[in-house]
């Protein structure tokens, strides 16, 4: 996780365009100023960042499915459940499934596990819009390369 | 159309917590019922699921923005019902 850049996903470990699923990994850093405040002497990964990790993983799935034609933005979070605490140094596995591909929006169902144990889950709504700038599209491709998102791969690849 | 209207009126009532009896064929989803774009995504999702279609919201929005259509054509509920019936018929054709 690059918490200071709000880039929470370290690596895409699986992408299945045919099934419209994605799996990513994210290592919670052992140190961060966030943990100095949340909470003093009792560091916990904030729940909103867990939701953001699910949103980012969902976003990469949508980007992969539309092959960087458009950009997803988080619009709604439903049925979010934060089931247990996450502490510094834990490795998270984040899975998302595209439940619905609407006109200008997408619905995903996402969940996080740690060591096979359910951490949290939610249903997310993403607005899917044209890239507001060519530069953003290029920067997103660079991030995708860094985390191993293979968008040029054929379906099911 | 009436059964289509009943379905979408029920969806709107449930999704937006609007009294069902205040939703009529002549209601404008935005101007009369006050549904904003985010709530309308929930409604579109429920309509897509209920009818097995994909409401072309982006196309409609573009047409309105380009002055080729009015919001009444798509968001007055009797017209929305008719558009949905067309989409369902096209799907089965």
Task: Report ipTM (2 d.p.).
Answer: 0.88
Who contacts B22 (Cβ-Cβ below 8 Å, separation ≥6)?
B33
Q: Which of A 138-157 lie inside 8 A of B, CB atoms?
A: none
Question: A21: cis peptide before it, omega within 30°?
Answer: no
B42 interfacial to chain A (CB closer than 8 Å): yes
Note the pLDDT of residue A156: 43
Cβ pair A100:B48 closer than 8 A:
yes
Q: Is residue A155 part of a domain?
A: no
Q: Is residue A111 part of a domain?
A: yes
Q: Tell me the CB-side half-sphere exposure of residue B18, using CA atoms within 13 A.
A: 22
Note the pLDDT of residue A155: 44
Who contacts B6 (Cβ-Cβ below 8 Å, separation ≥6)?
none
Q: Are A14 and A154 in contact (CB under 8 A)?
A: no
The pTM of the full predicted model, rounded to 2 decimals, is 0.91
B45 interaction partners in chain A (CB closer than 8 Å): 100, 102, 105, 107, 125
Q: Are A34 and A82 in contact (CB under 8 A)?
A: no
Q: Is residue A154 part of a domain?
A: no
Note the pLDDT of residue A151: 79
Domains of chain B (ranges, CATH numbers): 2-92 (1.10.1200.10)
**CA distances from residue A143 to A23, A26, A97 in whole angstroms, order as listed:** 16, 14, 21
For A94, the token pair is 């984040």
B38 interaction partners in chain A (CB closer than 8 Å): 75-76, 125
pLDDT tens for A8-27 read 999 999 999 999 999 999 99
Q: Is residue A156 part of a domain?
A: no
Per-residue pLDDT of chain B (93 residues; tens, 9 = 90+): 569 999 999 999 999 999 999 999 999 999 999 999 899 999 999 999 999 999 999 999 999 999 999 999 999 999 999 999 999 999 877
Cβ pair A125:B41 closer than 8 A:
yes
A127 interaction partners in chain B (CB closer than 8 Å): 41
- What do you get for the CA distance between the two ends of chain B, in Å? 18
- What total number of domains does chain A contain? 1
């Amino acid at each position: 996780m690059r918490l200071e850049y709000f880039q929470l996903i370290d690596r895409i470990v699986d992408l299945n365009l045919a099934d419209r699923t994605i799996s990513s990994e994210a290592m919670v850093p052992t140190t961060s100023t966030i943990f100095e405040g949340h909470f003093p002497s009792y560091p916990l990964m904030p729940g909103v960042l867990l939701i953001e990790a699910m949103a980012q993983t969902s976003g990469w799935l949508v980007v992969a499915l539309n092959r960087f034609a458009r950009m997803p933005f988080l619009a709604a979070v439903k049925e979010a459940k934060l089931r247990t605490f996450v502490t510094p140094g834990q490795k998270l596995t984040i899975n998302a499934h595209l439940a619905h591909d609407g006109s200008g929006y997408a619905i995903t169902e996402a969940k996080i596990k740690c060591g096979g144990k359910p951490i949290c889950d939610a249903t997310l709504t993403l607005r899917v819009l044209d890239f507001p700038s060519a530069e953003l599209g290029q920067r997103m491709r660079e991030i995708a390369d860094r985390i191993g998102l293979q968008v040029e791969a054929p379906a099911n690849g | 159309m009436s059964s289509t209207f009943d379905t979408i009126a029920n969806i709107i009532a449930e999704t937006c917590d609007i009294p069902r009896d205040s939703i009529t064929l002549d209601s404008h989803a935005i101007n009369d019922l006050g549904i904003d774009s985010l709530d309308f995504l929930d409604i579109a999702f429920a309509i897509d699921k209920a009818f097995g279609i994909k409401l072309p919201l982006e196309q409609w929005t573009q047409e309105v923005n380009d002055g080729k259509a009015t919001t009444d054509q798509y968001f007055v509920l009797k017209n929305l019902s008719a558009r949905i019936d067309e989409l369902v018929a096209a799907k089965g054709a």
